[in-house]
């Protein structure tokens, strides 16, 4: 009785905090901003510099007005092009017109030998450009017949080129409003990892003590973990479509980890549903719960496989590139606490239900005369 | 260990008499060849170069699904004929039973691996770029990881209803990134003659085989209980 009152209290607090999160996310937390500063200064120092763009030539776009000299291909970069929301809008409406390309063009030369092997009819052409305070230039490149930002590269001090997957990777934002979903996405993902971890602990404790209450804990937590993971992997693509131009990316560690963990714990639940006998169910699902939790993160963290993937997922922990404003930080903090409390409340309730279920089964057995 | 060898010998003897699994898996790999031809026939006709890329993936689809069929049977048969109780009554460690099953499964899946590699060579007159030995090496190493985790999961799934469907549901998420992805990439490199580039991947597969083996060895007593 006491426990259920605790659960009720937690639920009320969590729901209130989620309401607060919604309000804060909508009206308090500012839209994310790209740090654009001192663009002119950087421009003047950039002019005429050589940029090495090895490695992605075959994936570059075709431009309608190629400029080729003997030794260099010239790439227009748009100095004025610092507002990505305008670009996103143009992209969405298929209006990437000449107008964009001729505003204050800055000619950047690319050594032709870097383009060796390129067989397209036109030289590559870069469309977008952004200058950040750190003096990095970020290009957006479009592939033919595509309205999707496929490849980005940053130029760091002009001798090192990083190719990225989308503007989000470099702290750029093309669809600021879509970012609001972050306040629900990230807490759900966090709670699902927490829930799967609780399942791991519950499974291990069950195998050690054979106390059915740990089995109930593991089961309930896995169910909630799948629920929150579902929220995380459905809200993520809503944002990704806006920011990356696609719903899903297979080359991203975080997405793939979450997806596979999700599958593993759906497997765990199917296993539980398929094994009728109590003790066996608890034992085998505990072993599988441990196996799954150990294998998946390890295989994706393994340094030998990680290079096959790369992460374009935004970093949650603030980096030197910017990070969260205090308002956004407060909002996300409240959201994380709210979701964690909600998880705790639901877990208490779910364990209670599991207890009642077992009691009911026991009663059925007694009535059925199996005793 | 001797008990494990005895068990494996017993399984293989049963298999040699009935030829149940081998014949099913033999047909299975032939069907994969057929499906491969249906799916990628036009691609291959227009560009024979693609064979290397496609064959590496197709071989591993073949290996992993054939292994799932085989590993499922290894426990399901014991369960159906109620010989599992007999095994459990043996005065040996449960981990010995696990090892025995791993060994017999390995033997059978290796045979299927070899058959599939042969079928691809025969039906597509493909010579693996002259690197058959390297391809077989990767297949052996990868199959070890596959069988070590698969045997444990088969022992788990055999307790459930609809267990034929349960095994792939439980197993595939576990092997996707620990075995299949590195194996496909290593096989592709092997076919191109630069297996040396895949040393890291092979180390990783071996590492996972060790981890899976250890988890299976120590947790099987919880699975095969009662």
What ipTM was reported for this prediction?
Answer: 0.90
- Domain that includes residue A61, residue range: 40-169
pLDDT of A205 reads 95
| Separation of alpha carbons A255 and A240, rounded Å | 11
Domain boundary among A148, A169, A190: A169
| Contact state of B174 with A296 under an 8 Å Cβ cutoff | yes
Token code pair at residue B40: 């990628």
Q: Comparing C-alpha atoms, which of A22, A56, A85, A60 is closest to residue A243?
A: A85
Closest listed residue to residue B191, CA positions, set B141, B139, B149: B139
Domain assignment present for A112: yes
Tell me what the mean pLDDT of segment A344-351 comes to. 93
Instruction: Give the minimum alpha-carbon distance from B167 to chain A in angstroms, rounded to a whole number.
Output: 9
Q: Same domain, yes or no, for A247 and A108? A: no
Q: Which of B95, B142, B158, B174 to substitute to test the interface with A, most A CBs within 10 Å?
A: B174
pTM: 0.76
Span of A9-23, A157-171, A227-241, A296-310 with lowest mean pLDDT: A157-171
Partners of A164 in the beta sheet?
A: A152
| Over residues A38-62, mean pLDDT | 30
With a cut of 90, say whether residue A89 has pLDDT above it. Answer: no
Amino acid A314: pLDDT:
59
Residue A339 lies inside a defined structural domain of this protein: yes
Number of domains in chain A: 2
My answer on whether A294 and A258 are in the same domain is yes
- A183 and A152 fall within a common domain: no
Both A112 and A260 in one domain: the answer is no
Q: Please indicate, yes or no, whether residues A126 and A212 belong to a single structural domain of this protein.
A: no
Tokens 């296993």 -> residue: A271
Cβ distance of A271 and B163 shorter than 8 Å: no
So what's the pLDDT on residue A93?
53
When pLDDT is averaged across residues A209-238 and rounded to a whole number, the result is 94
Unique residue bearing structure tokens 């070899």: B114
Token pair listed for A313: 């997922």
Only one residue has tokens 């431009």, namely A63
Q: Given a cut of 90, is residue A46 above it in pLDDT?
A: no
- Of the candidates B200, B215, B225, the beta carbon closest to that of A291 is on B215
CB contact under 8 A, B208 and A299: yes
Q: What is the pLDDT of residue A73?
A: 31
Residue A264 pLDDT level (bands cut at 50, 70, 90): very high
Residues in chain B closer than 8 A to A294 (CB atoms)? 211, 215
Q: Are residues A330 and A195 in the same domain?
A: yes
Does position A74 have pLDDT exceeding 80, yes or no?
Answer: no
Last residue of a domain, one of A149, A169, A189: A169
pLDDT in the model for residue A86 = 47
Q: Among all chains, which residue has been given the structure tokens 């024979």?
A: B48
Give the nearest partner residue to A304 out of B163, B203, B225, using CB atoms: B203
Which stretch of A98-102, A317-321, B110-114 has the lowest confidence by average pLDDT?
A98-102
Between CA B105 and CA B118 the distance in angstroms is 20
- Flag if A280 and B159 touch (Cβ within 8 Å): yes
A233, A262 Cβ separation under 8 angstroms:
yes
**Is A291 at the interface with chain B, CB within 8 A?**
yes
Residue A7 has pLDDT above 90, yes or no: no
Residue A119 lies in a domain: yes
Nearest chain A Cα to B183, which residue? A305
Q: Specify if A238 maps to a domain.
A: yes
Which of A169, A200, A230 is the C-terminal boundary of a domain? A169
The verdict on A142 and A232 lying in the same domain is no
pLDDT at residue B23, as a whole number: 86
Cβ contact B149–A291 (<8 Å): yes
pLDDT in tens, A114-143: 333 433 333 333 333 333 323 333 333 333
Tell whether A295 is within 8 A of chain B (Cβ): yes
The pair of three-digit structure tokens given for residue A164, joined into one six-digit string: 């990225």
- The dihedrals phi and psi of A141, each to the nearest 5 degrees, come to -120, 140
Q: Which chain B residues are Cβ-neighbours of A275 within 8 angstroms? A: 159-161
One domain for residues A19 and A48: no
Min Cα distance A279 → chain B (Å) is 9
**Residues A207 and A142 both lie in one domain:** no
**Strands A137-142 vs A149-156: parallel, antiparallel or unpaired:** antiparallel
The answer to whether A69 and A11 have CB atoms below 8 angstroms apart is no
Enumerate long-range contacts of A252-256, CB under 8 Å, 24 or more apart: A252/A165, A252/A309, A252/A310, A252/A311, A252/A312, A252/A313, A253/A300, A253/A306, A253/A309, A253/A310, A253/A311, A253/A313, A254/A311, A254/A313, A255/A313, A256/A300, A256/A309, A256/B177
Chosen for mutation from A196, A207, A288, A298 (greatest number of chain B CBs closer than 10 Å) is A288
Q: Which two tokens stand for residue A259?
A: 């997806």
Residues of B in contact with A210 (CB under 8 A): none
Task: Give the range among A37-41, A258-262, B164-168, B184-188 with minimum mean pLDDT.
Answer: A37-41
Collapsing DSSP to helix, strand or coil, B142 comes out as helix
Walk along chain B (226 residues) and give the pLDDT tens digit of each residue. Answer: 788 898 899 989 988 898 888 888 888 888 888 888 888 888 777 877 778 778 888 899 889 988 998 888 888 888 888 888 888 888 888 899 999 999 999 999 999 899 999 988 888 888 887 888 899 999 999 999 999 999 999 999 998 888 888 999 999 999 988 888 889 989 988 888 888 888 888 888 898 899 899 999 999 989 887 6
User: Across the interface, do B182 and A305 touch by the CB < 8 Å criterion?
Assistant: yes
Contact A288 B162 (CB under 8 A): no
Nearest to B223 among A274, A287, A295 (CB): A287
Kind plus residue range of the DSSP H or E element containing A361? helix A326-367
Spell out which residues of chain A touch residue B170, defining contact as CB-CB under 8 Å.
Answer: 267, 270-271, 288
How far is it, in rounded angstroms, from Cα A166 to Cα A244? 6
Same domain (yes/no): A185, A258: yes
B109 Cβ contact partners less than 8 Å away, ≥ 6 residues apart: B25, B63, B66, B67, B70, B71, B143, B146, B147
pLDDT computed for residue B90 by the predictor = 84
Same domain (yes/no): A287, A345: yes
- A35 falls within a domain: no
Whether the pLDDT of residue A87 is over 80: the answer is no
pLDDT band at A292 (very low <50, low <70, confident <90, very high): confident
Which of A196, A214, A257, A291 is the best residue to mutate to test the B interface, defined by the most B CB atoms within 10 Å of its own CB?
Answer: A291
A280 interface with B at CB cutoff 8 Å: yes
Same domain, A155 and A215: no
A275 to B159: CB separation less than 8 angstroms, yes or no? yes
User: Within a domain: residue A330?
Assistant: yes
Chain A residues close to B152, C-beta within 8 Å: 287, 291
């Amino acid at each position: 009785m006491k426990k259920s009152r605790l659960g009720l209290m937690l639920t009320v607090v969590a729901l209130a905090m989620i309401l607060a999160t919604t309000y804060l996310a909508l009206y308090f937390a500012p839209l994310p901003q790209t740090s654009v500063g001192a663009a002119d200064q950087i421009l003047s120092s950039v002019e005429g510099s050589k940029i090495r763009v090895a490695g992605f030539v075959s994936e570059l776009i075709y431009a309608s007005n190629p400029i080729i000299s003997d030794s260099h291909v010239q790439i227009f970069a748009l100095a004025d092009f610092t507002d990505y929301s305008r670009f996103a809008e143009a992209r969405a409406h298929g209006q990437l017109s000449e107008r964009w390309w001729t505003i204050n063009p800055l000619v950047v030369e690319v050594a032709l030998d870097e383009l060796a092997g390129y067989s397209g009819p036109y030289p590559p052409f870069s469309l977008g450009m952004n200058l950040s305070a750190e003096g990095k230039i970020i290009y957006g490149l479009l592939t033919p017949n595509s309205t999707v930002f496929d490849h980005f590269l940053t130029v760091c001090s002009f001798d090192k080129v990083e190719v990225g997957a989308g503007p989000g990777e470099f702290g750029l934002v093309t669809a600021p409003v879509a970012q609001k979903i972050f306040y629900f996405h990230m807490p759900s993902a966090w709670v699902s990892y927490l829930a799967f971890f609780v399942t791991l602990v519950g499974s291990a404790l069950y195998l050690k003590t054979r106390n059915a209450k740990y089995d109930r804990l593991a089961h309930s937590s896995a169910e909630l973990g799948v629920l929150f993971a579902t929220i995380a992997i459905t809200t993520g693509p809503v944002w990704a479509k806006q920011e990356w131009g696609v719903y899903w990316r297979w080359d991203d560690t975080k997405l793939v980890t979450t997806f596979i963990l999700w599958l593993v714990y759906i497997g765990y639940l199917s296993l539980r549903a398929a094994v009728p006998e109590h003790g066996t169910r608890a034992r085998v699902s505990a072993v599988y719960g441990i196996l799954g939790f150990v294998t998946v993160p390890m295989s994706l963290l393994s340094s030998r496989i990680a290079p096959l993937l790369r992460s374009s997922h935004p970093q949650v922990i603030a980096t030197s590139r910017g990070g969260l404003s205090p308002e956004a930080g407060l909002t996300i903090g409240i959201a994380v606490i709210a979701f964690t409390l909600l998880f705790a409340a639901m877990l208490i309730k779910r364990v209670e239900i599991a207890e009642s279920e077992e009691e009911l089964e026991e009663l059925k057995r007694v009535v059925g005369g199996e005793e | 260990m001797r008990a494990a060898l005895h068990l494996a010998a017993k399984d293989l003897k049963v298999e040699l008499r009935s030829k149940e699994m081998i014949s099913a898996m033999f047909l299975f790999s032939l069907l994969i060849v057929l499906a491969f031809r249906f799916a990628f026939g036009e691609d291959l006709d227009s560009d024979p170069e693609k064979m290397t890329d496609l064959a590496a993936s197709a071989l591993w689809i073949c290996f992993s699904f054939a292994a799932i069929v085989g590993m499922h049977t290894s426990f399901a048969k014991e369960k159906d004929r109620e010989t599992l109780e007999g095994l459990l009554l043996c005065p040996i460690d449960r981990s010995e039973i696990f090892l025995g099953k791993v060994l017999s499964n390995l033997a059978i899946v290796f045979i299927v691996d070899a058959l599939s590699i042969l079928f691809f060579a025969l039906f597509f007159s493909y010579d693996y770029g002259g690197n058959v030995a390297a391809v077989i090496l990767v297949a052996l190493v990868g199959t070890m990881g596959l069988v070590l985790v698969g045997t444990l999961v088969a022992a788990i799934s055999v307790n459930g209803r609809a267990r034929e469907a349960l095994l792939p549901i439980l197993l595939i998420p576990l092997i996707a990134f620990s075995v299949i992805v590195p194996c496909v990439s290593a096989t592709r490199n092997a076919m191109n003659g630069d297996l040396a580039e895949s040393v890291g991947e092979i180390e990783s597969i071996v590492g996972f085989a060790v981890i899976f083996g250890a988890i299976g060895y120590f947790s099987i007593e919880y699975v095969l209980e009662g």
